[in-house]
Amino acid sequence: MTEPATPRVAVYIDFDNIVISRYDQVHGRNSFQRDRAAGFDKHPERLAAARVDIGAIIDFASSYGTLVLTRAYADWSAEINAAYRDQLVARAVDLVQLFPTAAYGKNGADIRLAVDAVEDMFRLPDLTHVVIVAGDSDYIPLAQRCKRLGRYVVGIGVAGSISRSLTAACDEFVTYDALPGVPVPEPPKRKPRRSSRATAEQEPEPEDPQAAATALLVRALRIGHEKDDADWLHNSAVKAQMKRMDPSFSEKSLGFKSFSDFLRSRSDIVELDESSTTRMVRLRDAQ
């Protein structure tokens, strides 16, 4: 029997979103659509290389509390999705059948998922956490509604296919790649550009995650120093502020075992006081 104080978690998986995003992450943008048109059976090794570990997602979601329901939305008659059915059923995932409603294959998962999630929050008022496994901006209104209804919202998406606006709408956002046990894929090889015009149209390089994390840390510390008018701040309070500003922040995804390790790596920027069990941090005077 579940103890009353135990957090209760609902998980909603836009299965097509996560499968397609992972495939494109491993093999390059729009690879899924091209390979589906050509036939996945011609290169089964490509499917295997981009296979999604559903267990890693569900195990991570369970770290927030007891899973009271888990649903995955997709067209389960499609061969690529059907290959996951046994794995999903073994983890007690409810498979919600969807069918394409347009020639380009849009199946309306976002609408059905959102309707079910809102209905579940009213039907199950003791739900404390909602985990949305998807990365596109269609889910921003759902994340915002869940928060207004008092739920803690966790997003999980594949790096490279995540809307920054969705990240900001969640209380916490984790990339699929950062989940325990998930291998980080090699970046897909890009074909060389054929003209100077094509080169000029290349997308800008993404911001260095280490530099972005450092800037986030500095902002959080400055806010803390100003708000509390304190010289030293609690490590946990600083991390909480960083997560509020950027729910996707995770020291583990940056290669650090703990937040303290992350802070130590920025010793030129911050000063640590580890003389007691209550660890404190502050910006160096130079900042």
Q: Which of 224, 231, 234, 283 is nearest to 259 (CA)?
A: 234
pTM of the full predicted structure?
Answer: 0.73
Mean pLDDT of the chain: 85
Given a contact cutoff of 8 angstroms between Cβ atoms, the answer to whether 260 and 272 are in contact is yes
Name the least confident of 8-17, 48-57, 76-85, 219-228.
219-228
For the record, the structure tokens of 241 come out as: 């502020």
State the pLDDT at residue 199: 41
Strands 172-175 and 94-97: unpaired
Residue 192 DSSP label: P
Class for the domain spanning 209-283: alpha beta
Output phi, psi for 268, to 5 deg. -75, -15
Domain boundaries, the chain: 8-178, 209-283
Tell me how far apart the alpha carbons of residues 162 and 81 are, in angstroms, rounded to a whole number: 21
Q: How far are the Cα atoms of 100, 243, 245, 249, 254 from residue 259, in angstroms, in the given order? A: 44, 12, 16, 11, 10
Cα dihedral 60/250/273/230 (nearest 10):
-110
According to CATH, the topology of domain 8-178 is Rossmann fold (3.40.50)
Please say if the pLDDT value at position 69 is more than 80. yes
C-beta neighbour count of 63 within 10 angstroms: 10
Over residues 121-127, mean pLDDT: 95
Residue 105 has which token pair?
């294959």
Q: Is residue 170 within 8 Å of residue 132, measured between CB atoms? A: yes
d(CA 118, CA 142): 8
Looking at residue 32, its pLDDT comes to 92
The whole-angstrom separation of Cα 210 and Cα 261 is: 13
Tell me, what DSSP letter sits at residue 267? T
* Six-digit token string for 179: 């989940």
How much is the average pLDDT of 245-264? 89
> Residue 208 pLDDT > 80, yes or no?
yes
d(CA 281, CA 241): 13
pLDDT digits (tens, 9 = 90+) for 72-116: 999 999 889 999 999 899 889 999 999 876 544 455 788 999 999
Question: Residue 62 in contact with residue 10, Cβ under 8 Å?
Answer: no
Residues in the chain: 287
- Write down the pLDDT at residue 103: 45
pLDDT of residue 200: 41
Give Cα separations from 268 to 48, 123, 214, 284 (angstroms). Answer: 44, 52, 11, 8
Least confident of 68-72, 132-136, 141-145, 283-287: 283-287
Upper half-sphere CA count for residue 211 (Cβ side, 13 Å): 3
